[in-house]
Structure 1
Amino acid sequence: MVADVQLEDPRWEACDLEAIAEAAAAAVCIWAGLDPDLVEVAVLGCDDARIAELNGDFRDKPQPTNVLSWPEEELGADQPGGKPYSPSPDHDGQYALGDIAIAWETCEREALEAGKPIKDHATHLVVHAMLHLLGYDHVQDADGDLMEAIEVEILWKLGIANPYAD
């Protein structure tokens, strides 16, 4: 199992966040050349109040956001637009990549505003967060362009249309 999912908000059960997280995490692992059976990621399905608390505690931004991630290792690239470092396995050859939290109300609202199924948007957010755990970010334009292209590629393989297309 790739994703260890905890549901604080029961609304995530209706869209099966466990299956979404597992599929999205496995797809990112495969794209990154990691055996999904050797990778573990913790995923918290919560509400806006909880994610606002986490966002305040860890980013000093006490407001809701769609998804947060906490990488186990700092893997960021040395140069903008560069490939991040590969994660290190533990002594058993396992990869603990980190933690993800995703907020129901924000995810649902964004999906409705974009006219897309919440499952597709939640999948996109988990893919996005998984890439953060692997050292990708979008602070610099070159990094954002790279990360977006990777997201589109992985989502396409999962049967989800380009979320950035007009």
Structure 2
Amino acid sequence: MRHDGAWTERGISDAMVELATHAALACAPPSKAAHCEVTVVLTDDAEIRDLNRTWRGKDEPTNVLSFPSGDMPDAAGAFDDDTQDGAPVLLGDIVIALETTAAEAAEKAIPLSDHVSHLVVHGALHLLGFDHLDDTEAEQMEDLERQALASLGIADPYADDAPIRDGNAGLAEIA
């Protein structure tokens, strides 16, 4: 869903967003085969600021927020049996803000499309139940992000030579 037409002007295609989502799901698939559905909302700083204030109590824009639907997999990656009736498992929504994301990409000297792909992967992993609340979780999530991004031909955003190396600097979400 595009809430801001500037995304198209910046070359961010639906196909690119879909590939990034599939890459995340391929690196961390649920243990039971399930058709999963994720909504990605491409918006602006004003809308994401409202969402961030409402849901996280932070009155500022951020780059990405994830809103799980409630059909998250358990620790083994399985979904409740009642979600396996042939209907897709609704994982949730990922919301990305253009201005903040574009500024971060420029600061890191990386293509906007690469940074958007990273944020989509990051948000999708949260919807799959991954988090980065402690060092072990952060390391596992970063490894999955690296795998997903490498499958898309995108450089490791956490590499030592990356312009910013602060773990999950700038990555915000609701998990």
* Percent of residue pairs bearing the same amino acid type: 41
Name the amino acid aligned to 1:62. Answer: D
Deviations 1:57-101 (A, max 9, x none): 111112100000011237487xxxxx6643443422421110010
Higher relative contact order (CA 8 A, sep 6+): 2
Change (3 A) 1:75 1:39: closer
Change (3 A) 1:136 1:74: farther
Of 131, 142, 163, 2:136 maps to 142
* Residue correspondences, number: 156
Offset at residue 32 of structure 1 (A):
2.5
Of 152, 164, 167, 1:158 maps to 152
Find the counterpart in structure 1 of residue 14 from structure 2. Answer: 18
Structure 1 window deviating more from structure 2 (28-37 vs 39-48): it is 28-37
Change (3 A) 1:134 1:142: same
Find the counterpart in structure 1 of residue 50 from structure 2. Answer: 53
Unaligned runs of 5+ in 2: 162-175
Of 62, 69, 73, 2:70 maps to 73
Name the amino acid aligned to 2:14. Answer: E
Q: Distance in 2 between matches of 1:60 and 1:67?
A: 15
Q: Distance in 2 between matches of 1:131 and 1:160?
A: 17
Offset at residue 20 of structure 1 (A):
2.2
Name the amino acid aligned to 1:46. Answer: T
Q: What is the TM-score normalised by the length of structure 2?
A: 0.81
